[in-house]
Each structure stands twice: as C-alpha cells, then as structure tokens.
Structure 1
C-alpha cells in the first residue's frame, strides 16, 4: 500500500482563528510547491475554527486535522504539529499570516542547493486585518554568518522572530529541545537553531505578517510595531508582559509564582553551556549575553519583587481566612 511521504510538513497550530484561517489556508494550498502535508492542531477552539478546518481537510488530502480536548498552551501546540510531521523539511505557519505563491518553492530551492543553510525565510512586511500593506519589517539579522558567535549575538538582539515561519531542516530541529513553556521561548528556539547552522533570508517580500488586536503580540507587546524602527534600546512601555506571556505559552503556569526573566536568562546560559562551542566562542557568547543584560538588570529585580508581592498577598489571605475561621468558631460558642 502506497504511503504518502511528502518533502515538506507544514504545521499550523491554531486557537479561535475563524476570522483569518481561511485566507491563511488558501495562501498555503495555492503555493507553487505542492509536495507537502499540512498538519493543523486545533487548541480546543470555541469558535467556528473546527468546522472550517474539517471542511478544508475533506477537500484536500494533504490536510490532517487534529483537535485538542483542552487548551494546552501555545508551546505544546507548536510542538505537537512538529511531533506529527514526517518530512525532511518543516515549516510552522500561523493562522493569520499570508505567503506569496512562490514562498515555499524559493525557500526549498535555497535549502536544496546550500547544505550549510538550515533555515530559509524571506523579507517580511505587515498587513492589516483586511490584508492591506502597513509597513516593512526592517530588522535584518546577519544570521547567514559562518561564525557561530556572530549568529548568537544577532539573535540576542531585538527582533520579532519571523524566521520561525521559514522552511527549516527537520534534522536541525531534532538537535535542540522543543519549544519551552515560558516567555520568549520562540526566540530561544531560534537562537538555538542559529547555533547549529546558518539562516538565509531571501531578499524579496514573500511573507506577510498580519497585525490585529487578537494576536499574541498585540496582547502582550502592544507597541511591537515600533520595534521595526531599529531603536538600540527598549523603552519600558515597549516591553511585553512576560508574566502573562508565560501563561500563554504554557497554560499550566496560571497561578504559579514565576520568574520569567530569570528563566530566559537561564535558557540563554544553557544554550551556551550545552553547545558545541569551543572555549573562545563560549567566552564571546557570554560577553554578548552580559552586554545584553547590562541596563536591564531591573527586570531580574522585578521578578523578585513580583514573587515577594504574591507570597505576601497569599500569607495575608491565609491569615485573614484563619482569623475569620476563629471568629466564626467563637461566635458559634456564644
């Protein structure tokens, strides 16, 4: 019996995407490169997403639709579509973004011809809810450098991680841990990929990132479009809420005492210590990391302050409940 073995797997994690998912699916299904499977993992959507996806799956045998029984968080849903893939190349796709018809074919051509590249993506511009042009995404990273420490430093800088939606060699993804359940987990994943091999950015605008109020960037990073101005420093109002962001990445974080910025710092350190870098390269990467941390130490202090605030609040609530219980006991005796 013949078993379909596509060259590329496209993983599309989605939650409540009824507004844009049809356009996104059409954009993928109309690619000039057609040798792919499209894996949709529905994270227990409560809108019309399931019906839309099942209708598409019934019309195109390349689509495999899976539905989670409950919301498992962004990271686990992203990891799920990767786990289900069975191809040499892999690509994540978002339910709201669009692609030029030749996006995949041009990425595949680059990767097939250049074994040193492990990821290929393209220039990006933002579109609005109606699909109209907003502005170019002007962050150009030197991730095609042959020097690993240069790629590390580039991926430490301010960027929105749209390389995630390029075409990636699955063998490279298998060499790094899956996406974690913490804020900036996608950025850490990209950085670890960059420590394995080079990225290539096609100098054409073939990827169209949609900007709208329901997306994660808008919810946790309301001024994210300002990042394209290439300002050398973050301002406080441009920083995302990494506490809520951590819950979005992993729903089991809800109600826990989190140290999100310490966690990110730890993952950066692990990325260096567990890599195949030589001593000189490691020292350079530690230097770049310390340089990034310089001026942002207040974020680590903020984590401690937030944890202390939550612990104090819990202690006061416990004391109040105990006092109420004692009062209730004595009022019952009287």
Structure 2
C-alpha cells in the first residue's frame, strides 16, 4: 500500500515534546484520509519514555510505524532512517518538538493533488514560546510562490534547508541521493539532499499558509555549547554548498551570505544574551567567521559589531525594545483584531 503522504519523525529523548506533535497529527487524520497519510517514527535509542509514548499512540492508530535503534547512530542517520521506512509518495520530515497547525494535513494534501509537477513544497511556520502557549513570530507571506529556477530557489531559501519540518518532497527524488550517505555527522545531510534535488531541476512551491508551529529557544544542538553550535552551521552550509554547487559558484556565495546574515548573527546574539559569550567565545567566533566570511560584507557590518558589543548594552537594548517597540506592535495587532 502506498500512502500519499508520510509524516516522518526522527527523534531522540524528546518525550516531553513528541506527545504534543503526535496529538497535533492524529487529530487531523480523519476517517476519510486515514488511508492516505501515515506516521513514521525513527527513535535513535531514546533513554527517556519516548518508546512508551509512541507505542501508546501506535496501539490506537494503525497507520503509525515505529522503528527503534539499539544505540544512538547520530542525527543524520536518524533523518535518513525516518525517511527510509516511509511508504508515501511524498514525505514530510518533522522535528519531534514541533507541532502541526490546524488543517495542515488537509492543506498539504490539496497542494500535493493540485501541483503534481512540484518536487518540493516549502511550508510557512509560526514561532511559539517554548510551552506553545503563545505565538511569538510569523513569517507573513501573502501569496504562494513557485520557483522553477535553481538559482532563484537558492537565493530565496538556500540557508533554510536545514530546518527539518520545513519541506514536503517527492520521495523518489530524495532516495536518488540519500543512498550516497554523504555528510553523515554534519547534522545537515538533509540539506545536502535538498541541494542536490534543487540542482537537478526540481521546482519548488512556497506555501504562504502557516502549517507548522515550532518552539523558540529549543535548539537540541545547543547541548554541546554555543561555539560548537555556531560552528555546525558555518562549516556545514559552507562545505555542503561548495560540494554540490562548486566553491566559486553564485549559489555557494548566496548560501554563505544568508548564513552569515541570519544564522550566525542569531547564534551570537543568543550566546551574548544568555551570558555565554565570554572573551574566549568571542575570540573563537571572530576567528571562525573571519576564516569563512572575511569577503562577505554582512560579517563586517552586522556580525562583527555584535561580537564586540558588551553584554550589558545588548540586554539594555532588549529591555527598551520590549517596553516600547514590541509593546506598540502588540497594541497595533490587538487593535486590528
């Protein structure tokens, strides 16, 4: 039996979150679509009660497939395994601490049915607080956008292909490149596969409607520290984009420019505001960024000033922002409602 859509969840020690995700999915799989959608969970030998939670759902919902490893094989192998056990024509990888927003599955199925020539669908998101009680940020896309040119896709979305829950894709396109098992250990093997799919010429449709909710301040890769986390992004995106598109390609430059503008800036900001950016951290980050981004203007005009700014100044600026600009925006949105 082939499903239309496989929602694939790689997980490890996310018992505190995966119940929310499974509830958000199963409540949307109504009797009229239960033969069209499956859930695939790949458990990387979790040491908490993830197994018990998933099996409690599996006992009720027969469309759930649960695979559990005997030992942790790393994030990349878990991504690949979650997709490997899928039987759907389309696959939606899902981070186990995210949730599906109401009507996300029915919306996804409508797009799959209508746009059969699209290889990848990029989904819109809403950021919530860590407890999922309140929305914090939403990307305000007004209309759907279709990109058929690989260069345009990379220009618009190149640095976002590391977000697990952000894309729905045709399984056969993924399988063509997953078999090579490249960049295992980088935490961005999925990014490599997406880049190869795009390079081959797959069209992408960016869905304006938000389908996924994610938690702010819940980055599992931060458990190894702030410097290893920022290095993961810098080295991963640089090496993968250079391998796929070429070190001197426009795509490689655009991806690095986007990473240094958004990801690197945000990682540094988080480290400083959490009092984790001591002098040693700042020196190491400067050296790393200089090595990879010395020819990128955003490093000099955006990241470097942040690296050298004292923590108390940023905390004061955040306080003022929350008391004035953010409050004004909240009042404006409240009045509009």
TM-score (norm 1): 0.65
Cα 1:268–1:286 shift into 2, 3 Å? closer
Q: Distance in 2 between matches of 1:76 and 1:143?
A: 32
Structure 1: runs of 5+ lacking an equivalent: 223-238, 247-259, 274-281, 304-334
Contact 2:91–2:170 at 8 Å: present in 1 too?
A: yes
The residue that corresponds to 1:197 in the other structure is 202
TM-fit CA distance, 1:212: 4.4
Q: Distance in 1 between matches of 2:54 and 2:253?
A: 47
The residue that corresponds to 1:152 in the other structure is 154
The residue that corresponds to 2:229 in the other structure is 241
C-alpha RMSD over aligned residues: 3.6
The residue that corresponds to 1:17 in the other structure is 14
Cα 1:128–1:264 shift into 2, 3 Å? closer
TM-fit CA distance, 1:20: 1.4
Map Cα deviations across residues 243-272 of structure 1 (whole Å, 9 max, x no partner). 5x49xxxxxxxxxxxxx72x6434212212
Q: Distance in 1 between matches of 2:195 and 2:18?
A: 28
Contact 1:18–1:49 at 8 Å: present in 2 too?
A: yes
Q: What is the 5 A alignment of 1:27-176?
A: 27-32=24-29, 33-34=33-34, 35-138=36-139, 144-157=146-159, 159=160, 161-162=162-163, 164-176=165-177
Please state whether the residue corresponding to 1:105 is helix, strand or coil. Answer: helix
Cα 1:240–1:124 shift into 2, 3 Å? farther
TM-fit CA distance, 1:201: 2.3
Cα 1:11–1:138 shift into 2, 3 Å? same
Map Cα deviations across residues 80-134 of structure 1 (whole Å, 9 max, x no partner). 0111112211111122111123212212222222233212243211112321224
TM-fit CA distance, 1:24: 0.6
Cα 1:88–1:124 shift into 2, 3 Å? same
Residue in structure 2 matching 1:299, options 285, 288, 295: 288
Q: What is the 5 A alignment of 1:313-328?
A: none
TM-fit CA distance, 1:185: 3.8
Considering fraction of residues, name the structure with more helix: 2
Cα 1:78–1:146 shift into 2, 3 Å? same
TM-fit CA distance, 1:135: 2.1
Q: Distance in 2 between matches of 1:163 and 1:200?
A: 17
Structure 1 position 270 matched with structure 2 position 243 = yes
Contact 1:121–1:163 at 8 Å: present in 2 too?
A: no
TM-score (norm 2): 0.65
> Which of 176-185 and 11-20 deviates more?
176-185
Map Cα deviations across residues 203-262 of structure 1 (whole Å, 9 max, x no partner). 22221012244x32654797xxxxxxxxxxxxxxxx86255x49xxxxxxxxxxxxx72x
Please state whether the residue corresponding to 1:176 is helix, strand or coil. Answer: helix
Q: Distance in 1 between matches of 2:123 and 2:83?
A: 21
Contact 1:143–1:155 at 8 Å: present in 2 too?
A: no
Map Cα deviations across residues 157-215 of structure 1 (whole Å, 9 max, x no partner). 4x4744744321112212334573215444433333333322222222221012244x3
Contact 1:142–1:151 at 8 Å: present in 2 too?
A: no
Cα 1:23–1:294 shift into 2, 3 Å? closer
Contact 2:123–2:212 at 8 Å: present in 1 too?
A: yes
Structure 2: runs of 5+ lacking an equivalent: 265-285, 293-337
TM-fit CA distance, 1:284: 4.2
Residue in structure 2 matching 1:285, options 242, 248, 251: 251
Q: Which has the larger radius of gyration?
A: 1
TM-fit CA distance, 1:36: 1.8
Contact 1:30–1:101 at 8 Å: present in 2 too?
A: no
Cα 1:104–1:192 shift into 2, 3 Å? farther
TM-fit CA distance, 1:68: 0.8
Contact 1:125–1:209 at 8 Å: present in 2 too?
A: yes
Cα 1:143–1:155 shift into 2, 3 Å? farther
TM-fit CA distance, 1:300: 7.3
The residue that corresponds to 2:320 in the other structure is none
